[in-house]
Chain A
Amino acid sequence: MPRTGLVCMPWHALSRPCLSIGVLRSVCADAGIDPPTGYHGGLRFAEFLLERSAGAITPPDYAAVAEGGFPHALGDWVFADALYGNDFGAVAMRDYASRTNLSLRTASAIREYADEFVDLVVDELLSRELDLLGFSTTFMQNVPSLAVAKRIKQRSPETTVLFGGANCDGPMGIALHREFEFVDLVLRGESDETFPLLLRTLADGDDLAAVPSLCWRDGERRSLTNPSTARLVPPAKLIAPDFDDWFPAFESSTISEHVEPELVVESARGCWWGEHHHCTFCGLNGTSMTFRAKPAERFVAELSDLVARHAVLDVVVVDNILEPRYLRTALPDLAATGWDLRLHYEVKANLTSEQVEVLRSAGVCSVQPGIESLVDDVLARMDKGVRAVHNVRTMRDCESAGLTVEWNWLYGFPGERADDYATVLAQLPALVHLQPPISATRIELNRFSPYFDDPTLGFPVREPAPAYRAVYDIPPERLHDLVYLFATPSRGLRDEQVRPLADAVAAWIRDYRASSLIRAELDGVTVIRDRRVGWPAADYLLETDRERHAWRELEHGRTAAGLQRKLDEQGIDWPAASLTRWLDELRAHGLVFTEGGRWVALATAAAPVPALATVAG
């Protein structure tokens, strides 16, 4: 069996191990192969920067590039000179930065150390005397990995260089193999089964043509690509990662003095919504959209083992979407442990308040519900499968449960009109007590998204994002298949039409922390306490049965007709004209949000308030 190492270069997060290395170590062990050793280049780079710069370049500087650099390929650019030499990309990136008003201060400072770091990595990897080095590459890890791989082959031609990971999915892996001759092998797609097969094939000297999805070279170094298998890893074969090599490396690193460690796990792959309604802008999942969730009891057991083994309670679950059945299985089981977990999950914004409470009880502290917009027309254009009132309901219920909600407001969808935003923007001040978006952002054109795959959907003109010119010394026509981000003429809102949205979001972010709108039940009266910035401090009393019942129905999100029907079913008579006036009154006070003919109550729920006296007016 080849002596194998797996390499995770910058810009992997410093706080967590590389999931793909952890999974590949496990699948090897499962196949009776010694787990490959991991090389944690992100950690190594951060400590190298800290040491070489005498403390001037800190882990937060690393994180700034790692977390914010992707739209501009900054992390790749940092290593572009180490790959190509001659200060490659310096002028091109300066031009790009000047056009886009981008600061290069941190990335430029870090770039000064990249070449020396690549030599260090090569020294350390070669000292391990390995036969095969596998680079796991996602987002901005391509150029850092290529820079190391190139020098490995220069100094040790007999070492086999393998690339894999999300950056090698679909045509990108083929292009990478074609463009970089020093890359011997590229394993595309999920490699849980093909990686052990590749190791055995190499060990036995068998024909590499038998390894599905593999790009390899013949005797004349020509690039050949094996057909991909249609088979995705089945749920029962999704395996728990092995992080036994990362935690000791983290604990012995100076970075552990700056960063808290966390676990990273997967309970499912693919997206059950995307299988049938792929969100038009979403380029996640690449060639593996089919949703596959681990059996709940196995996931709970795996997570429990990892938490106990590494004594770490912070867990990032990288699933694209929560398996709904987990709300009845895995999550209640986790809640029953009584451990002080902190989990992050991506969810669909159609959760009920009871389901949000299940999340909270299980230790889910932050969610990414894919809210994206509060305009029904835009949500329909992205095929999101939820309406604005569903999004607002999810935001409200997460606020009630104390869950952090991460979301961005996306615009720039083909066909969207400024007029569609008008009624919603007028209501945003009423949402100030709910968690605001991180920002309002024009959508990008990403490989694998429906907008990319089908030019008739609105983006017929596209070319590799301009920042890549400062990163790859490759002509645009050949670069097209290698990269993930594309430039395309803007659609939807014109730049000058974005201002009202941007201003409203800025005000929302500014005033959120000082705002509250809470509903409590006091001795048979529903009280809505308004302490929102921009609204008069007031308490609203719903004193009649029909008001209280109607409010409860509005918490679900109803049309006026639907509300009337629900009240009728409960034997409550409320003439339509009068009910409409009441809804309008609620809206005037900012107590409801309405969009697309639906209305949803905005007050968050206080827990039952004990021992309170009679309500006085």
Chain B
Amino acid sequence: MKRVRTLAATAWPDRLTIEIADLTADPSSWRPAIHAARAGAQRLTLTGQVAFGDDPMRDVVVLRLLSEAAAQLVDLDWTLAAEPPWPLRTVVHLPPPAATNDFAHRWRAEYRVGLCVYRVGPGFVRIRDLRPHGPHLRVLIDGEWATGFAALAGDPWHWPDERASTLVDDLTENGLALPLPTGPHLLPTRVLRWPIPQSDI
């Protein structure tokens, strides 16, 4: 058996990186890194600074990356350039950025795992929203609305039809969807892994 202090970075680095410039609308630009980090028990670093509000497409991609990291319980390091165009409550359930400004400080202070999540059951979706600075919500979506929710969750570029837009309006009104120029972004993250102890969610 050979003991080394730590392996060289190229072998099994403690952290993986994604270049912010490499992010595209195609989830294959970031999803494999999240899965690799999960598999190898590594931290993930998003290099560069995120400036929400400058580029709608970039906004939704970063939000989805953060949501996926939350769902997979992957530790993500990233930096926020400036205060985003949304209140803290909108994003506080997502992995927080480094504490480089006041907004990020507050985000880090108030974040905890499982603040705003959804889970899928037979013919229904359950949303639990415990984010601070607003009402705590338990929402049940069932029937065709559950199907509509799943469609939106699976495809952020999907513009809802007239019927589904009623669902989006409801979700938006309750702070559970974010209307972006590219389409609505669902804020709750799915519970794909449970923390230890599982009662943390």
B residues 1-36 near A (Cβ < 8 Å) are 1-8, 10-12, 32, 36
B11 touches which of A256, A366, A538, A613 (Cβ 8 Å): A613
Bound complex: CA A599 to CA B14 (Å): 29
Judge if B121 is at the interface, Cβ distance under 8 Å. Answer: yes
Q: Is the CB of A365 within 8 A of B40?
A: no
Residues of chain B within 8 A of A312, CB atoms compared? 121, 126
Please indicate the chain A residues that have their CB under 8 angstroms from the CB of B3 in the complex: 538-541, 589
How distant is the Cα of A341 from the Cα of B2 in the complex, in angstroms?
43
Residues 373-403 of chain A, each 1 if its beta carbon lies under 8 Å from chain B, else 0: 0000000000000000000000000010011
Which among A160-168, A212-220, A474-482, A516-524 touches the partner chain? A516-524
Q: B180 an interface residue at 8 Å Cβ cutoff?
A: no
Is the CB–CB distance between A541 and B12 below 8 Å?
no
The answer to whether the Cβ of A607 comes within 8 Å of any Cβ in the partner chain is yes
Interface magnitude class on chain B: 35 or more
Contacts of A338 in B (CB 8 A): 120
Q: Which of B1, B120, B196 contacts A404 (CB 8 A)?
A: B196
Contacts of A339 in B (CB 8 A): 119-122
Question: Is B120 a contact partner of A340 (Cβ separation < 8 A)?
Answer: yes
Q: Is B56 close to A, CB under 8 A? A: no
**Bound Cα distance A482, B119 (Å):** 45
Q: Are A308 and B121 in contact (CB under 8 A)?
A: yes
Of the candidate stretches B46-54, B94-102, B163-171, B187-195, the one touching chain A is B187-195
B190: contacting residue among A340, A342, A585, CB under 8 A: A340
The chain B residue sitting closest to A256, CB to CB, is B138
Known: A308-B121, A608-B39. A365 touches B4 (CB 8 A): no
Does A365 lie within 8 Å of B121, measured CB to CB?
no
Q: Which of B1, B39, B122: most chain A CB closer than 10 A?
A: B1
Q: Closest CB of chain A to B127's CB: distance in Å?
A: 11
Q: CA A340 – CA B142 in complex, angstroms?
A: 15
Q: Give min CB distance, A586 to chain B, whole Å.
A: 7
Q: Select A612's contact among B11, B38, B122, beta carbons within 8 Å.
A: B11
Is B89 an interface residue, CB under 8 A from the partner?
A: no
Please tell me if A311 contacts chain B, counting CB pairs below 8 Å: yes
B121 near A311: Cβ-Cβ < 8 Å: yes
Contact among B5, B40, B121, B191 for A520, CB-based, below 8 A: B40
Q: Is B108's beta carbon under 8 Å from chain A?
A: no
CB-CB under 8 A from B39, the residues of chain A are 606-610
Given A340-B120, A342-B198, A366-B198, answer yes or no on A539-B7 (Cβ-Cβ < 8 Å): yes
Chain A residue numbers with a CB within 8 Å of B2 are: 540-541, 543, 617
Cβ of B123 under 8 Å from chain A? yes
User: Could you tell me the distance in whole angstroms from the C-beta of B60 to the nearest C-beta in chain A?
Assistant: 24
Q: Distance in Å from the Cβ of A308 to the closest Cβ of chain B?
A: 4
Q: Is the CB of A313 within 8 A of B1?
A: no
- Which residues does chain B contribute within 8 Å of A260, judged by CB atoms? 128, 138
Complex Cα distance A606/B36, Å?
Answer: 10
Chain A residues, CB < 8 A from B198: 342, 365-366, 404
Residue in contact with A340 in the complex, picked from B7, B12, B119, B138, CB distance below 8 Å: B119
Task: Check B121 against A342 for contact (C-beta < 8 Å).
Answer: no
Taken together as a complex, chains A and B put the C-alpha atoms of A606 and B128 apart, in Å, by: 30
> Does A547 make an interface contact (CB < 8 A)?
yes
Nearest Cβ distance between residue A550 and chain B, in whole angstroms?
10
CB-based contact B5/A307 at 8 Å? no
The CA-CA distance from A541 to B40 in the complex, in Å, is 16
A304 interface residue per 8 A CB criterion: yes
The closest CB in chain B to the CB of A258 belongs to B136
B120 touches A541 (CB 8 A): no
Smallest CB separation, B182 vs chain A (Å): 27
Give the most central of B39, B121, B128, B194: most A CB within 10 Å.
B121
A610–B122 CB distance below 8 A: no
How far apart are the CA atoms of A518 and B6 in the complex, in Å?
Answer: 13
Residue-wise, chain B 39-72 has the 8 Å CB interface mask toward A (1 for contact) of 1110000000000000000000000000000000
Known A311-B124, A516-B41, A538-B4; contact A610-B197, beta-carbon cutoff 8 A: no
| Interface contact A311-B126, CB-CB below 8 Å | yes
Contact with A along B168-185 (1 / 0, CB 8 A): 000000000000000000
Take A313-B126, A404-B199, A585-B1 as given contacts and tell me if A615 and B7 are in contact as well, using a CB distance cutoff of 8 Å: yes
The one of B122, B124, B126, B140 that contacts A304, using a Cβ cutoff of 8 Å: B122
* Bound complex: CA A527 to CA B12 (Å): 9
Residue of B nearest to A398 (CB): B196
Could you tell me if A522 and B11 are in contact, using CB atoms closer than 8 angstroms? yes
Q: How far is the CB of B79 from chain A (nearest CB, A)?
A: 24
Partner of B4, one of A304, A516, A617: A617
A616 beta carbon closer than 8 Å to chain B: yes
How far, in whole Å, are A582 and B128 apart by their CA atoms in the complex?
Answer: 51
- Residue contact A586 to B120, C-beta cutoff 8 Å: no
Q: Does A252 contact B (CB under 8 A)?
A: no
In angstroms, how far is the closest chain B Cβ from the Cβ of A11? 19
What's the minimum C-beta distance from B2 to chain A, rounded to whole angstroms?
4
Contact of A538 among B6, B40, B191, B194 (CB under 8 A): B6
**B128: nearest chain-A partner, CB-CB:** A260
Q: Does A614 contact B (CB under 8 A)?
A: yes
What residues of chain B lie closer than 8 Å to A341, measured between beta carbons?
Answer: 121
The yes or no answer to A529 lying at the interface (CB within 8 A) is: yes
Chain A hits for B5, CB < 8 A: 536-539
Which B residue's beta carbon lies closest to that of A542? B1
> CB < 8 Å: which of A539, A582, A612 contacts B6?
A539
A313 to B142, CA, bound (A): 14
Residues of B within 8 A of A520 (CB): 12, 40
Name the residue on A nearest B122 (C-beta): A308
Residues of B within 8 A of A311 (CB): 121, 124, 126, 140, 142
Q: Is B193 in contact with A402, judged by CB distance below 8 angstroms?
A: yes
- A257 B136 Cβ-Cβ under 8 A: yes
Q: Which residues of A contact B197 (CB under 8 A)?
A: 366, 404
Report the separation of the CA atoms of residues A614 and B6 in the bound assembly, to the nearest whole angstrom: 14
Residues from chain B with a CB closer than 8 A to the CB of A537 are 5-6
CA distance A240 to B198 in the complex (A): 26
Report the nearest A residue to B8, measured CB to CB. A616
Q: Would you list which residues of chain A between 237 and 265 have a CB under 8 Å from chain B?
A: 256-257, 260
Establish whether residues A609 and B36, one from each chain, have CB atoms under 8 Å apart when the complex forms: yes
Q: Name the interface residues of B140-178: CB closer than 8 Å to any CB of A.
A: 140, 142
Chain A 531-559, CB-CB to B under 8 Å as 1, else 0, gives 00000111111110001000000000000
B127-141 toward A: CB 8 Å interface, digit per residue (1/0)?
Answer: 010000000101010
* A–B complex contacts, Cβ < 8 Å, 10 sampled: A312-B121, A340-B120, A404-B196, A518-B41, A520-B12, A611-B36, A612-B12, A614-B11, A615-B7, A616-B7
Residue ranges of A at the interface with B (Cβ–Cβ < 8 Å): 256-257, 260, 304, 307-308, 311-313, 337-342, 365-366, 399, 402-404, 435, 516, 518, 520, 522, 527, 529, 536-543, 547, 582, 585-586, 589, 606-617
B residues within 8 Å of A by Cβ? 1-8, 10-12, 32, 36, 38-41, 119-124, 126, 128, 136, 138, 140, 142, 190-191, 193-194, 196-199
Q: Which 5 A-B pairs have the closest CB atoms?
A: A340-B119, A607-B39, A616-B8, A609-B40, A365-B198
Q: A341-B121, A613-B10 are in contact. List 5 more A-B contacts (CB 8 A).
A: A308-B123, A340-B121, A404-B198, A529-B12, A614-B11
